[in-house]
């Protein structure tokens, strides 16, 4: 990598964040001094310094807002150059080119957030001016797009159904390549089809992933059964083989399993998930692999447990099936609390839903996914690798939150979204529960409910995929 010299002139190749000190991990929002746009000129004052695997330089710049002195990374976490030399004759950066022109009418190919500035990393929830629904038109204001956070952004005008006009920035496509803006009006949304049950296959090796022994029965179902219907108890972590299934009975999906406990060969029917959403079956390779880190430092109390408030949550469906209760754990905490990834993995989604989870992150792990919702600020980008305990951003009160808190959920692969829990399962069995602050009598504590009533989850509607 090229090293700059003291007093050398450099310029930015994209929007670059200026920091008070080198590095980006475990930093508070006050560490960011400014965000400099494409082709901002500056002078090298000090450096380089290595921090968080990146090379950092102290740069002095003059902007319309005044003089700025701070540290910038020479390249991004993904290896993309952020700074280049003027003195060595490096060609000026080419502004991103897109398919739209000034005054052109474009359409939202999904629910698209209209932002105050280009980019989505490190932004608070008030950066979103409006949400453009699927199929709604907007007008391109400037034919020169901007690069930010590895995406191309366009400045557009949008008027909502209440005749309110907004001007802001939208991405041309998502980080996964899905188009967000199109020239042609997108087709009407197709009628959702019934969900297809696809989790395990006959012959798969599975295990009892729960912490307790589980009943194995002569036939699927658990209601109105004679005592002799229970064949045996399968201890925790027992490896099993699937022989048949799935069969639906009493609102659950059942599999015929075979396994050995001591010297006895057991053969019977076992539910994939318990009636209250405890995950019972998981792939055998996950038997000792799921250990979920508490997603923050400190002693923040649990304000809502898994399965709480079923009467409130049944009004919200996943894939057309009403929720059976709260499908996560809520932790009450002050806005700005650093949030930590529950396990090593990759950032799958950074979302912003003003009418749902607010700012939220989904991390993909070897065993499934974890979700962190109602965040104040997200400081990671999609595709980024993270280690267990890395900072994802800050807790907040964004979206339809009824008070500052973190909504935390996990899914274990494979899962079925239409199981009444959105495919999620109770994370508590996989956490160090003795380290959690769970108030006594939380399930019926009226005083606690008045402090932090349940928050609505995202609304299911055509064109808006639920997390």
| Architecture category of domain 9-85 in CATH | Roll (2.30)
Q: pLDDT 10s per residue in the chain (467 long)?
A: 557 888 898 888 778 899 999 988 888 888 989 888 877 889 999 988 888 778 899 999 987 778 899 999 988 766 678 888 876 644 444 445 568 889 999 999 999 999 999 999 988 989 999 999 999 999 999 888 888 888 889 999 999 999 999 999 999 988 888 889 999 999 988 777 777 777 899 999 999 999 999 999 999 999 999 889 999 999 999 999 999 999 999 999 999 999 998 888 989 999 999 999 999 999 999 999 999 999 999 999 999 999 999 999 999 998 889 999 999 999 999 999 999 999 999 999 999 988 889 999 999 999 999 999 999 999 998 989 999 999 999 999 999 999 999 999 999 999 999 999 999 999 999 999 888 888 875 544 444 444 578 999 888 887 777 89
Contact 153, 14 (CB under 8 A): no
- Rounded CA separation 83/417 (Å): 44
Q: Starting at the edge strand that comes first in sequence, how are the strands of the sheet with 16-19 ordered? A: 32-36, 16-19, 66-73, 54-63, 41-51, 9-12, 83-85
Question: Residue 93 has what pLDDT?
Answer: 43
- Check for a shared fold between 9-85 and 105-182: yes
CATH class of segment(s) 302-451? mainly beta
Contact 375, 394 (CB under 8 A): yes
CATH class of segment(s) 105-182? mainly beta
Element (H, E) at 310: helix 310-313
CATH class of segment(s) 205-286? mainly beta
Element (H, E) at 158: strand 151-159
Question: Residue 445 has what pLDDT?
Answer: 42
β-pairing, 368-378 vs 405-412, is antiparallel
Give the CA count within 13 Å in the CB-facing half-sphere of 261.
20
Residues contacting residue 243 through CB under 8 Å, at least 6 positions apart: 202, 256, 257, 258, 267
**Where exactly are the structural domains of the chain?**
9-85, 105-182, 205-286, 302-451
- Rounded CA separation 226/275 (Å): 19
């Amino acid at each position: 990598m090229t090293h700059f010299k003291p007093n050398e002139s450099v310029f930015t190749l994209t929007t670059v964040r200026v920091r008070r000190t080198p590095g980006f991990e475990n930093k508070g929002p006050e560490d960011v001094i400014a965000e400099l746009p494409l082709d901002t000129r500056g002078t090298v004052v000090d450096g380089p310094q290595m921090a968080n695997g990146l090379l950092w330089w102290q740069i002095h710049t003059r902007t319309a807002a005044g003089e700025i002195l701070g540290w910038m990374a020479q390249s991004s976490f993904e290896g993309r150059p952020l700074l280049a030399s003027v003195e060595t004759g490096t060609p000026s950066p080419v502004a991103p080119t897109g398919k739209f022109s000034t005054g052109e009418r474009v359409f939202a190919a999904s629910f698209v957030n209209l932002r105050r500035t280009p980019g989505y990393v490190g932004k608070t929830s008030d950066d979103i001016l409006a949400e453009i629904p699927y199929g709604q038109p907007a007008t391109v204001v400037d034919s020169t797009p901007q690069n930010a956070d590895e995406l191309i952004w366009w400045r557009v005008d949008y008027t909502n159904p209440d005749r309110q006009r907004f001007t802001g920035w939208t991405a041309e496509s998502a980080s996964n390549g899905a188009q967000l803006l199109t020239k042609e009006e997108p087709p009407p949304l197709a009628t959702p089809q019934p969900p297809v049950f696809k989790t395990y296959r006959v012959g798969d090796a599975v295990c009892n992933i729960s912490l307790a022994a589980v009943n194995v029965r002569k036939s699927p179902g658990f209601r109105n059964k004679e005592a002799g219907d229970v064949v045996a108890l399968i201890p925790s972590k027992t490896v099993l083989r699937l022989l048949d299934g799935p069969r639906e009975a009493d609102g659950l999906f059942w599999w015929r399993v075979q396994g050995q406990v001591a010297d006895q060969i057991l053969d019977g029917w076992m539910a994939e998930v318990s009636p209250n959403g405890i995950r019972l079956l998981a792939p055998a390779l996950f038997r000792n692999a799921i250990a979920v880190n508490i997603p923050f430092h400190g002693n923040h109390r649990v304000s809502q447990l898994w399965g709480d408030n079923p009467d409130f949550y049944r009004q919200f469906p996943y894939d057309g099936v009403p929720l059976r209760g709260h499908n996560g754990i809520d932790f009450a905490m002050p806005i700005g609390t650093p949030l930590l990834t529950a396990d090593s993995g990759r950032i799958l989604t950074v979302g912003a839903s003003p009418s749902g989870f607010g700012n939220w992150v989904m991390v993909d792990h070897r065993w499934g996914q974890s979700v962190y919702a109602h965040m104040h600020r997200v400081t990671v980008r999609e595709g980024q690798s993270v280690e267990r305990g890395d900072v994802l951003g800050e807790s907040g009160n964004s979206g339809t939150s009824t008070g500052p808190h973190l909504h935390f959920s996990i899914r274990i692969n494979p899962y079925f979204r239409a199981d009444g829990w959105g495919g999620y399962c109770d994370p508590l069995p996989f956490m160090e529960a003795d380290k959690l602050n769970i108030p006594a009598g939380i399930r019926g504590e009226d005083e606690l409910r008045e402090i932090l009533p349940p928050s609505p989850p995202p609304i299911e509607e055509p064109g808006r995929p639920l997390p």
